[in-house]
Chain A
């Protein structure tokens, strides 16, 4: 008789801090204590609060343990399973209510979420199809194949209001309808599991934690659209997800849930995995298809759209992992149920990946219409170390920054677009007062420049030229005219690029200019970085009043430019040779190294910096 379940999170975050080892140690300890027959250990997918990993959930109580290390296991087993007491040392503290959390239900991180896509993640063993089936797995597929016509499936998806979760937000039902109408065969469905946005791992959690729901969604969609073959294009950087998908696919075939004559209805559906090779641009659907065909992953102009001419010239439907993962609950619980979540134009829920300067980094699934404040402070736990919120970057390198004055905006496609950003795939990077917005823009432009496929000059050369300008701004070498140049290049790259990568690459620049222009001006005119991030604009000084003379800074300095005052236990920095590496700042335990950006390093704050292209004098014409 099993009296308790220990769910050990085996999502990527927890594995990276020792989750696998934890499971083995737990198993050994339970066996040592003779408890291995009555307590079952289940390895699940990502539970969500990745910052607290490795995490563990004990059922039936629902006790949530955080930061469980191998060393803690013996005491935890003794306290919780033998003495029947909560092991309070490993209980999390709720940042919002400031209470110690005893059960998952009381944890505000989870309480405010609505898990639809993630309903099984963290609950089931993703390598065991039977656990998926036990939670209504493949019931939707059975229902569709045995009692619904393809048109009815499409009507249901249309009625649900589901929009593509990959970033564009195109109504999924309409997309399926277009594909279903295409008269050419064979047709294909594709799952875009390339997830290239830095800091985004929503798809990864689903693929690792609940892969069958993706397979089921694809099978349902393929039936509705008249396809018999599906491909999952997954990035090579997700080996665990690839492994779990392979296991899931093999199990599905074995159980007759993939392959020939599904549910005895004569419908065939096969799925193959195709692995990427490290190119962000292959997340773009036309580049993705070319990659599957074995060609260079370079996008092709649209129209023609994939539903008309896609893989090998045949009609193809591509959806994101999260979109496919939403099909099963819509079919089982109905379109009306799904449409009851969200806002008027953005129905349902979205999984967001919280990262950056936020207490609870991890995954959070909330209905559309939840405000940014609720997500960042309610679920995310706010900014650590009590720093001030500055901005949140949504949508990855295609998105934009949203400043504090818009924290009460509801998160949906239209609102974010109005603010100059995009929903994207759901990445949310939080920034505080110590983030330099120009540096943020430069980071994302560097990413786009590196990942550009190089087919069209506006993106290939335009992002390079914009990056050069941003570099100059961050190193204090720019003039005001460079900001104008940046803006005009941004327009060209946005309007003339062939695909979404180039078209959205200027967004971080454009939004940071819109909301934080003062920071740009500080960098350019005053040669000052208000957030004290941009190295070339920093000055380091030692506060000799508080300096205790421990010499740690001098020893850390790689260019040996920190010296001891004669006869005193005080140190000082000779600024000429300082390379602004910050090693002394990191080394000092007494807060005596001051990192400032006052514009003292300005190469020239001369009037020349204030010239714009319109005020610059024209070259005098030589008079004959």
Chain B
């Protein structure tokens, strides 16, 4: 690869170095020169529509937008002449006059709004043209997302984000000219959209209060908050989070643009469901006295646990943990004789044997053929689904899907098979589609480990081995449990069917660590016979953050910390170790999982 040529621009009299292929804005920003922008976000394709970044090039009659104009070696650029300032000011005045930008009751007021910032930066406190006062609606029909058209400046940051980061292209502009407006799907609302995944990336991208969410609205001015970077633990992707807090309260959750895994993107679970869903948090230890669960102190609770444990022989004790426990718990967990990790159906084999491919997300990004076998990333790993959508739609990769349940990815697939045919003709077609693949990726989930899934996998491997040229596909396992691959690799047995596991030998003591599972571990009870089996055990201890049907039947309930209180590390599906940094101190009497385990063992 030839290195790009070095070029020099003179910007406002200063020599600025850059590379061929960069825009004027990129070179200016790298040299510390500030040019105002509104529609520009550096991770999105440039739009050139807001006219704020216009600059003059000596020798050219017209102004050009710095964000999209390629820098030409040797040119002289002026960024802040009087006429440019006048044009920017007038453009802002036109924007302010166009819709109802009334600050006092806006979520972005007092410093968070980029339109307001530009207004102040350009010395605007009144405008010289009439306000148009159009009547635009406010769409608050969405579960999380809301759109106030009165505050929209039509910068299309949301449209480009939805297209280039989430890949669903749910948002676009409809109509023409002064009638332009952002639309959801073909004129639906957020509440009735067929394609919106509620990932919230559009809200994060919106410079004004036009797009806002019901979780974060009016919880605090972002520019007065503290920020902490941590990792999401809802699925094995491990997206980076940038959490804003104020006075020990979460104000808003953003994606961390510095995360090498997610580059600023999140799905609805990491952005909203971890903190904006109504759940009952357990804030103190609970002991069952007289048939009822009553609050107790840690000493009382731990003492009760130790006593119960003493009464059981080692073989009559078992620990069953959530697959989202962090890495630091593994060493301690291994001290137990009977230790298991409850995983979803068909995931046991996946966790035990699943491949981890370094830089899987980058590999998906650069793939020219993606095979999805027995996985449902749209449901369980939203950011992987987003990556697949954008790679297929924008970078023109081929998509082949083999699964047993429908998903939104099917519409982009060249081959989508939900009934596996062993016909030669079908596999001939598959081989034909894959014959030119130079960077293939095979993503597989729990259903790949079923007999049918294994059969399909073998066929696919045979196709790749039979190819005259081209590499084998990168293999990427996608379980649903966020740290299950690591825990399994550390020696913790993945358990698909809890009933038989419990029934194997009679138990007198069971310690279930549900940690901050959103359902409080309740799904264990959905499996047949588990409830009666649990009721036969003398002492069931549940260590959980949220109240549920499971915690309700425990003898002892120990309050665990939740995602924003956790400290430690997890290892994601790429094999990348990611930090969990506590954003807030534990609420109530909640304690870290490892701390509780150690206390129990003492």
Most interface-central of A296, A301, A463 (chain B CB within 10 A): A301
Contacts A301-B64, A461-B98 given; does A496 touch B90 at CB 8 Å: yes
Contacting residue for B49 out of A281, A449, A456, A485, CB 8 A: A456
Contacting residue for A457 out of B50, B69, B179, CB 8 A: B50
Q: Does B64 lie within 8 Å of A460, measured CB to CB?
A: no
Which of chain B's residues 132-146 have a Cβ closer than 8 Å to chain A? 132
Contacting residue for A496 out of B47, B54, B97, CB 8 A: B54
B54-83 vs A: 1/0 string, CB under 8 Å? 100000001111001110000000000001
Q: Does A449 lie within 8 Å of B70, measured CB to CB?
A: no
Compute how far the CA of A455 lies from the CA of B95 in the bound complex, rounded to whole angstroms.
12
Q: Does B177 lie within 8 Å of A451, measured CB to CB?
A: yes
Contacting residue for B172 out of A296, A300, A465, A488, CB 8 A: A296
B128 at the interface (CB under 8 A from A): yes
Q: Which residues of B contact A462 (CB under 8 A)?
A: 94
**Which residue on B lies nearest to A300, using beta carbons?**
B48
A492 at the interface (CB under 8 A from B): yes
Q: Does A461 lie within 8 Å of B94, measured CB to CB?
A: yes
A120 at the interface (CB under 8 A from B): no
Most interface-central of A298, A304, A454, A461 (chain B CB within 10 A): A461
B313 at the interface (CB under 8 A from A): no
**Which residue on A lies nearest to B178, using beta carbons?**
A464
Which of chain A's residues 291-343 have a Cβ closer than 8 Å to chain B? 296, 298, 300-301, 303-304
Most interface-central of B69, B70, B94 (chain A CB within 10 A): B94
**Which residue on B lies nearest to A454, using beta carbons?**
B180
Q: Does A455 lie within 8 Å of B64, measured CB to CB?
A: no
A436-469 vs B: 1/0 string, CB under 8 Å? 0000000000000111111111101111110010
**Which residue on A lies nearest to B38, using beta carbons?**
A457
**Which residue on B lies nearest to A503, using beta carbons?**
B62
B154 at the interface (CB under 8 A from A): yes
Q: How far is the CB of B145 from chain A (nearest CB, A)?
A: 22
Q: How far is the CB of A302 from chain B (nearest CB, A)?
A: 8
A38 at the interface (CB under 8 A from B): no
Q: Which residues of A contact B173 (CB under 8 A)?
A: 296, 454
Compute how far the CA of A304 lies from the CA of B65 in the bound complex, rounded to whole angstroms.
11
B87 at the interface (CB under 8 A from A): yes
A498 at the interface (CB under 8 A from B): yes
Q: Which residues of A contact B180 (CB under 8 A)?
A: 454, 460
Q: How far is the CB of A498 from chain B (nearest CB, A)?
A: 6
Which of chain A's residues 348-374 have a Cβ closer than 8 Å to chain B? none
B91 at the interface (CB under 8 A from A): yes
**Which residue on A lies nearest to B92, using beta carbons?**
A457
Compute how far the CA of A296 lies from the CA of B51 in the bound complex, rounded to whole angstroms.
19
Q: How far is the CB of A497 from chain B (nearest CB, A)?
A: 8
Contacts A301-B48, A492-B90 given; does A452 touch B176 at CB 8 Å: yes
Q: Does B91 lie within 8 Å of A492, measured CB to CB?
A: yes
Compute how far the CA of A452 lies from the CA of B50 in the bound complex, rounded to whole angstroms.
15
Range, interface on chain B: 35 or more
Contacting residue for A449 out of B47, B87, B154, B177, CB 8 A: B177
Q: How far is the CB of B34 from chain A (nearest CB, A)?
A: 20
Q: How far is the CB of A465 from chain B (nearest CB, A)?
A: 5
Q: Does A461 lie within 8 Å of B178, measured CB to CB?
A: yes
Most interface-central of A300, A452, A496, A498 (chain B CB within 10 A): A496
Q: Which residues of B contact A453 (CB under 8 A)?
A: 176-177
Q: Does B87 lie within 8 Å of A301, measured CB to CB?
A: no
A611 at the interface (CB under 8 A from B): no
Q: Does B172 lie within 8 Å of A454, measured CB to CB?
A: no
Q: Which residues of B contact A495 (CB under 8 A)?
A: 62-63, 83, 87
Compute how far the CA of A463 lies from the CA of B94 in the bound complex, rounded to whole angstroms.
10
Q: Which residues of A contact B466 (CB under 8 A)?
A: none
Compute how far the CA of A452 lies from the CA of B173 in the bound complex, rounded to whole angstroms.
14
Compute how far the CA of A201 lies from the CA of B86 in the bound complex, rounded to whole angstroms.
39
Q: How far is the CB of B3 from chain A (nearest CB, A)?
A: 18
A578 at the interface (CB under 8 A from B): no
Contacting residue for A455 out of B49, B63, B83, B97, CB 8 A: B49
**Which residue on A lies nearest to B95, using beta carbons?**
A457
Q: How far is the CB of A178 from chain B (nearest CB, A)?
A: 15
Q: Which residues of A contact B64 (CB under 8 A)?
A: 301, 303
B123 at the interface (CB under 8 A from A): no
Contacts A301-B69, A453-B177, A485-B128 given; does A496 touch B48 at CB 8 Å: no
Q: Does A465 lie within 8 Å of B129, measured CB to CB?
A: yes
Q: Which residues of A contact B154 (CB under 8 A)?
A: 454-455, 457, 460
A407 at the interface (CB under 8 A from B): no
Contacts A452-B178, A454-B173, A496-B51 given; does A461 touch B95 at CB 8 Å: yes
Which of chain B's residues 26-52 have a Cβ closer than 8 Å to chain A? 47-51
Which of chain A's residues 400-445 have a Cβ closer than 8 Å to chain B? none
B130 at the interface (CB under 8 A from A): yes
Q: How far is the CB of B154 from chain A (nearest CB, A)?
A: 7
Q: Does B97 lie within 8 Å of A461, measured CB to CB?
A: yes
Q: Does A492 lie within 8 Å of B87, measured CB to CB?
A: yes
Contacting residue for A465 out of B68, B83, B130, CB 8 A: B130
Q: Does A465 lie within 8 Å of B128, measured CB to CB?
A: no
A240 at the interface (CB under 8 A from B): no
Compute how far the CA of A465 lies from the CA of B83 in the bound complex, rounded to whole angstroms.
21
Contacting residue for A452 out of B49, B68, B177, CB 8 A: B177
Compute how far the CA of A449 lies from the CA of B154 in the bound complex, rounded to whole angstroms.
16
Which of chain B's residues 487-546 have a Cβ closer than 8 Å to chain A? none
Q: Does A465 lie within 8 Å of B87, measured CB to CB?
A: no
A252 at the interface (CB under 8 A from B): no
Q: Which residues of B contact A498 (CB under 8 A)?
A: 48-49, 51, 65
Compute how far the CA of A450 lies from the CA of B70 in the bound complex, rounded to whole angstroms.
32
**Which residue on A lies nearest to B94, using beta carbons?**
A461
**Which residue on A lies nearest to B175, using beta carbons?**
A454
Q: How far is the CB of B191 from chain A (nearest CB, A)?
A: 25
Q: Which residues of B contact A449 (CB under 8 A)?
A: 177-178
Q: Which residues of B contact A298 (CB under 8 A)?
A: 49
A489 at the interface (CB under 8 A from B): yes
Compute how far the CA of A281 lies from the CA of B177 in the bound complex, rounded to whole angstroms.
10
**Which residue on A lies nearest to B69, using beta carbons?**
A303
Compute how far the CA of A458 lies from the CA of B83 in the bound complex, rounded to whole angstroms.
15
Q: Does A465 lie within 8 Å of B94, measured CB to CB?
A: yes
Q: How far is the CB of A278 from chain B (nearest CB, A)?
A: 9
A73 at the interface (CB under 8 A from B): no
Most interface-central of A456, A468, A488, A497 (chain B CB within 10 A): A456
Compute how far the CA of A485 lies from the CA of B90 in the bound complex, rounded to whole angstroms.
12
Contacting residue for B179 out of A301, A454, A461, CB 8 A: A454
**Which residue on A lies nearest to B47, using beta carbons?**
A455
Contacting residue for B51 out of A303, A454, A456, CB 8 A: A456
A579 at the interface (CB under 8 A from B): no
A279 at the interface (CB under 8 A from B): yes
Compute how far the CA of A463 lies from the CA of B64 in the bound complex, rounded to whole angstroms.
20
Compute how far the CA of A581 lies from the CA of B69 in the bound complex, rounded to whole angstroms.
52
Most interface-central of A296, A303, A453, A454 (chain B CB within 10 A): A454
Q: Which residues of A contact B172 (CB under 8 A)?
A: 296
Q: Does B95 lie within 8 Å of A454, measured CB to CB?
A: no
B232-247 vs A: 1/0 string, CB under 8 Å? 0000000000000000
Compute how far the CA of A458 lies from the CA of B87 in the bound complex, rounded to whole angstroms.
9
Q: Which residues of A contact B129 (CB under 8 A)?
A: 465, 485, 489
Compute how far the CA of A455 lies from the CA of B54 in the bound complex, rounded to whole angstroms.
15
19 sampled A-B residue pairs with Cβ under 8 A: A300-B48, A301-B48, A451-B177, A452-B178, A454-B154, A454-B177, A454-B178, A457-B50, A457-B95, A461-B94, A489-B90, A492-B86, A492-B94, A495-B63, A495-B83, A496-B54, A496-B90, A498-B51, A498-B65
Given contacts A453-B176, A454-B173, 19 further A-B contacts (CB under 8 A): A296-B173, A301-B65, A450-B177, A451-B176, A454-B176, A455-B47, A457-B95, A460-B154, A460-B177, A460-B180, A461-B98, A463-B177, A464-B132, A464-B177, A464-B178, A465-B130, A496-B54, A496-B63, A498-B49
4 closest A-B pairs by CB? A454-B180, A301-B48, A452-B177, A461-B94
Taking Cβ atoms with an 8 Å cutoff, the residues of A that contact B are 279, 281, 296, 298, 300-301, 303-304, 449-458, 460-465, 468, 485, 488-489, 492, 495-498, 503
